[in-house]
């Protein structure tokens, strides 16, 4: 019997889409402004998942170099048709709605083709595309009609509901003007459509209510891929709003037949903490829940929390970087040098800072609510350090250089620093996320950052910082915490990285 762990994928892995090919499952998630983009995980049992590659591994596949924070790779759909993998996605505020193909889900993937309008004048306008084929081989791209016209008011965006076009995939051109389909029960932001033919009927499953606490999944069915569609009597199928469930914001799901023929739904959610469960430190993660069918309608069980045991990851830089390393708006190879000092990682500053769109930064997702990362870093030839990053305006740093170790909190437009003298040479930096200690009065937070350095054999704690300020609710971010090393001046050298954590 399959054990459904939740989270299915820990840390920043939102907007999951899954496809079964034989006795394997392949899962794609959003990556926004980070590269490599669109991670692909593989499983043979739906319990253990391996990161086998990314879709965007070459310059230009995603146009994220100039996208604003929160733009980039939004909401993929992965499918398998006629022996090939297909993935459609919106490169929001970048290249537009794209179609990628690969013979192997691990890659390499194609450069990505823009899905153009019927007249070929531009790209089909919308987000969260889905791709499906009928028995005759006609290709349907179904999407959410959120419009990006350069003048969109974020408080009153133009939204045309769930739309659909037939597409000529050889020419990557729509064969018609978009038509409107069923757009849910009337909640805001109908999005994340997925179209399925199951048992001779066509089902249209969508998310609605917004990706925050009102998030939900609803479904409709019809006799053809173009509809008309009739909503299920039990909508919404999934929503954690106004419940005490430990996993909130559940929505944006994709159906798949799991091991043993049981149906499953992968979906996003968050694990909030604090006295009012207000702050989600790790952002949107991937979860899974069983699906039962009654009278031709699916019912999705409430998502149950079942975290895996803790992990420890120790990285020695004596081999190529694994696929867990990511960088901001550029590929890790553009900032990481493993040749200059064999067995160690060098980062060379280029004048950018953590406030810039393309910092000299290399990191990994924070995967556990209780977590500590230790790096051994030598900044004798420069200035740099260790940071936990949500975006350019929200990060917490441990920085070495100019005779000081500095702990720093950058919270929107606010900055606070704590310093300790240091006379140079390699040292260990420690960045930990821990539950508030009893009696500290910090009941209304997710966690507390402990920033420390081991100097002359002694661990010196420089600062404790309220973790709520690096949560998705405060930053209003679509991503999550990414912990990494960075360079601000000259060069820094890292020869040890250890991350360990748990979710108790």
State the pLDDT at residue 155. Answer: 65
Q: Are residues 266 and 321 in the same domain?
A: no
Range of the domain at 441: 311-502
Q: Are residues 361 and 275 in the same domain?
A: no
Q: Are residues 334 and 295 in the same domain?
A: no
10 found inside a domain:
no
**DSSP assignment, residue 261?**
G
Would you say the C-alpha torsion 475, 476, 480, 486 has a positive or negative sign?
negative
306 found inside a domain:
no
Could you give the 3-state DSSP secondary structure of residue 183? coil
State the pLDDT at residue 275. Answer: 84
d(CA 427, CA 483): 18
* Domain tally, the chain: 2
Q: Are residues 398 and 440 in the same domain?
A: yes
Domain termination site, one of 273, 300, 327: 300
State the pLDDT at residue 85. Answer: 98
State the pLDDT at residue 504. Answer: 82
- How far lies 371's CA from each of 302, 345, 413, 490, in Å? 27, 22, 26, 30
d(CA 10, CA 285): 6
d(CA 241, CA 156): 23
Check which CATH number belongs to the domain holding 114 and give it.
2.115.10.20
State the pLDDT at residue 130. Answer: 98
State the pLDDT at residue 5. Answer: 95
Residue ranges in the chain modelled with pLDDT below 70: 1, 148-157, 439-443
12 found inside a domain:
no
Whether this model's pTM surpasses 0.75: yes
State the pLDDT at residue 440. Answer: 61
274 found inside a domain:
yes
Query: Under 8 Å CB-to-CB from 136, ≥6 apart: which residues?
Result: none
Q: Are residues 285 and 317 in the same domain?
A: no
99 found inside a domain:
yes
2 found inside a domain:
no
Q: Are residues 123 and 212 in the same domain?
A: yes
Cα-based angle 323, 25, 129 (whole degrees, multiple of 5) = 80
């Amino acid at each position: 019997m399959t054990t459904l762990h939740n989270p299915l994928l820990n840390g920043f892995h939102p907007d999951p889409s899954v496809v079964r090919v034989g006795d394997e499952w392949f899962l794609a998630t959003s990556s926004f402004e980070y590269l490599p983009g669109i991670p692909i995980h593989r499983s043979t049992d739906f319990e253990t998942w391996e990161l086998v590659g990314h879709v965007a591994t070459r310059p230009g596949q995603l146009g994220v170099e100039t996208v604003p924070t929160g733009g980039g790779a939004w909401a993929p759909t992965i499918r398998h048709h006629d022996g090939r993998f297909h993935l459609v996605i919106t490169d929001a505020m970048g290249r537009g709605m794209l179609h990628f193909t690969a013979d192997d889900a691990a890659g390499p993937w194609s450069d990505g083709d823009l899905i153009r309008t019927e007249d070929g004048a531009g790209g089909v306008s919308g987000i969260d595309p889905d791709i499906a084929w009928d028995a005759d081989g006609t290709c349907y791209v179904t999407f959410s009609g959120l419009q990006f016209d350069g003048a969109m008011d974020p408080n009153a965006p133009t939204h045309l509901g769930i739309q659909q076009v037939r597409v000529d995939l050889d020419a990557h051109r729509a064969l018609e003007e978009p038509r409107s389909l069923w757009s849910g029960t009337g909640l805001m932001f109908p999005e994340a459509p997925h179209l399925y033919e199951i048992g001779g009927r066509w089902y249209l499953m969508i998310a609605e209510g917004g990706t925050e606490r009102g998030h939900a999944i609803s479904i409709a069915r019809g006799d053809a891929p173009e509809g008309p569609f009739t909503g299920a009597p039990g909508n919404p199928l999934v929503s954690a709003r106004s419940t005490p469930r430990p996993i909130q914001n559940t929505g944006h799901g994709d159906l798949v037949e799991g091991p043993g023929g049981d149906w499953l739904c992968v979906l996003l959610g968050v694990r909030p903490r604090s006295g009012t469960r207000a702050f989600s430190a790790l952002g949107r993660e991937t979860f899974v829940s069983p699906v039962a069918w009654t009278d031709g309608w699916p019912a999705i069980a409430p998502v149950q929390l079942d975290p895996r045991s803790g992990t420890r990851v120790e990285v020695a830089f004596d081999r190529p970087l694994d696929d867990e390393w990511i960088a901001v708006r550029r590929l890790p190879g553009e900032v990481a040098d493993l040749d200059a000092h064999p067995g160690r990682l060098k980062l060379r500053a280029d004048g950018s800072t953590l406030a810039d769109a393309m910092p000299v930064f290399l990191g990994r997702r924070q995967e556990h609510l209780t977590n500590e990362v230790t790096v051994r870093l030598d900044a004798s030839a420069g200035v740099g350090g260790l940071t936990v990053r949500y975006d350019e305006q929200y990060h917490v740093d441990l920085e070495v250089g100019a005779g000081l170790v500095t702990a720093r909190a950058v919270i929107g437009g606010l900055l606070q620093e704590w310093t300790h003298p240091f006379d140079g040479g390699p040292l260990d930096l420690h960045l930990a996320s821990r539950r508030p200690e009893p009696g500290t009065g910090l009941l209304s937070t997710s966690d507390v950052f402990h920033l420390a350095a081991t100097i002359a054999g002694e661990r010196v704690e420089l600062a404790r910082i309220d973790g709520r300020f690096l949560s998705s609710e405060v930053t209003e971010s679509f991503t999550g915490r990414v912990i990494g090393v960075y360079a601000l001046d000259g060069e820094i050298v890292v020869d040890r990285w250890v991350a360990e954590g748990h979710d108790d």
